[in-house]
Amino acid sequence: MTDAAWDALRFDVYNTVVQGGHAPAVVQLAWLDASSAGGPHAELRLGDNSTTIQLLESIYKKHAGITHADLWSYAAAVAVSNSGGPTINWRPGRSDAQARTSDPVSIQPDPTANPASIRIAFSSIGMDDKETVALMGAHCMGNAHLNVSGYVGSWTQTPLFVTNQYFTQLTKNSTYRQETITSLDNSTRMQYSANSGRFMLPSDMALMQDPIYLSHVQNYASNLTAFLSDFKLAFSKLLEVGVASGLSNVSISTSITDFPPADQVQPAALDPEMQCYPSFESPRFCMSAQDTGSNLVYTIHSSAIGWTGFGVGSTSMKDGDVIAAWRNSSGQAWTTAFSTSQHAIQVARNSAWKQVVLMEPAPAWSKISFSAIHPKVVASSGTGKTGNDITGEYMFAISSVVPAGDLDRLNGVSVLYQHDVSGVLGNICVGCTPTFSTGSAALIGSIYL
């Protein structure tokens, strides 16, 4: 491929994968492919038609001269490099598997693995203890999905960014409790859950049980620079497992900053007071608040085609006061209020939430836009309404899963259990000077009231 062809591919991957919010899924696919028994040869595409594989196939069809295996690997490198992570050194030259010789099981630890099993799995692909812990840090991205793995939740508050928050969360392991999760097939799994809505697998917690692993966890928790530096080396090595000797000696750029500004995706036109995730420039979820005295009116815009949830009050997702919206059979935004119990939800009776007329035009990228009013004080208001006072944190979740059944009723409530991305939009800051963060900060911002 020519330099111009690589530039076109890099921009397409950035626009489709990173801007589209698919970076975690693409990173996971490349990891599975690189660590499979057959090596990184895109064997999973033979007989597997997952959403992520279909997404990358749509890119593959537009760019001649690249193999599927190289595209999967390169897309993951671009995703990491442009999601707050280090710039990954990447070289082409992977060949595609032509037949599904066996079930390409990934050589990686079971979610319930202990330290010994983790060490065996990673050493089998040439990773030492420091590289193992650095690679486990990839759990800073993405969510576990009930319908995929049987686990549910996100490890960090910013699942579209590469940060060291996975390690800072692990150092708070005493704040997590064991929780039994019932899967869609009624099987059960144990995970560790925190009131903040974050979760850990048993294999994550195993890092805290081994003194060598623990030392690296503590180092990365306190030193973002060290984590990014070590993750860069370990992830680059992972993408070359079993094929390094056959790759080109020429590295291909993975950073979008190589493009002139005029070629990059331009930000949507939004109210500058609006707070967005993952960023104002590349929004998937945005919120603005209008203070009316005793109430606040929130306006939500979301790129989700399924449903969108927004919560106020409380300092955790365990007892959240949430309003969720989706499109009803007439194509209008339809809302219902919920209360949360960790990862489960139930309809909130006589909720303090009330949907109102949309307070501002919906931007072109938004699939679901709505406005809703909520009292600042609920518990002692004397209105008999249920919900939380507006303190703590703003929380959100978005999903590509459309509620099932009659959309004008709540038959889709069980589907609302599952989401694509969830996180903390910001702390609710009462009576203080607002500070808004950008980029890959752990919290998107603080909301000033």
Task: Provide the whole-model pTM.
Answer: 0.69
> At 115, which helix (H) or strand (E)?
helix 115-123
At 240 the pLDDT is 96
Residue segments in the chain with a per-residue pLDDT below the cut of 70: 102-107, 195-197, 257-273, 313-319, 329-330, 341-345, 404-449
pLDDT given for residue 268 in this prediction: 34
| Tokens matching residue 254 | 């993975």
CA-to-CA dists, residue 101 to 16, 41, 42, 98, 105, angstroms: 31, 12, 12, 9, 11
- Distance in angstroms (rounded) separating the CA atoms of residues 324 and 416: 8
Which of 239, 108, 86 lies closest to 164, judged by CA?
86
Give the span between the Cα atoms of 21 and 444, in whole angstroms: 16
CA distances from 51 to 54, 60, 70, 175, 390 (A): 5, 14, 18, 35, 38
pLDDT of residue 313: 63
The whole-angstrom separation of Cα 441 and Cα 278 is: 10
- β pairing state of 421-429 and 393-399: antiparallel
Task: Say if CB 90 and CB 244 are below 8 A apart.
Answer: no
Candidates 65, 53, 57, 59; CA nearest to 25 is 53
Instruction: Provide the pLDDT for residue 152.
Output: 80
- For residue 205, report the phi and psi dihedrals to the nearest 5 degrees: -65, -25
**Number of helical H runs and strand E runs in the chain:** 10, 17
What CA–CA distance (Å, rounded) separates 419 from 285? Answer: 13
pLDDT single digits (tens) 201-211: 999 999 999 99
The alpha carbon dihedral of 209, 212, 218, 223 has a sign of negative
Instruction: Report pLDDT for 422.
Output: 67
The two structure tokens encoding residue 231:
């993750």
Q: Which residues contact 390 (CB under 8 A, 6 or more apart)?
A: 296, 312, 313, 374, 375, 376, 377, 428, 449
Q: What is the pLDDT of residue 20?
A: 75
pLDDT score recorded for residue 439: 30
Extract the tokens encoding 32: 């599975």
According to the model, what pLDDT value does residue 15 have? 83
H or E element: which one contains 226? helix 224-238
| pLDDT for the residue numbered 247 | 96
Unique residue bearing structure tokens 């576990």: 144
List the alpha helices (DSSP H) in 17-87.
Answer: 23-34, 51-60, 68-81
114-132 residue pLDDT tens: 999 999 999 999 999 999 9
Q: How far apart are CA 315 and CA 388, in angstroms?
A: 10
Residues 367 and 290 sit within 8 Å (Cβ to Cβ):
no
> What is the pLDDT, as a whole number, of residue 106?
60
Question: What is the per-residue pLDDT for 230?
Answer: 98
| 390 close to 298: Cβ distance less than 8 angstroms | no
Per-residue model confidence (pLDDT) at position 437: 33
Q: Which helix (H) or strand (E) holds 11?
A: helix 3-13
Contact 5, 65 (CB under 8 A): yes
Supply angle C-alpha 377, 380, 386, rounded to 5: 70
Cα-Cα-Cα-Cα dihedral sign, residues 147, 152, 158, 161: negative
* CB 205, CB 111: distance < 8 Å: no
Cα(194)–Cα(216) distance, integer angstroms:
22
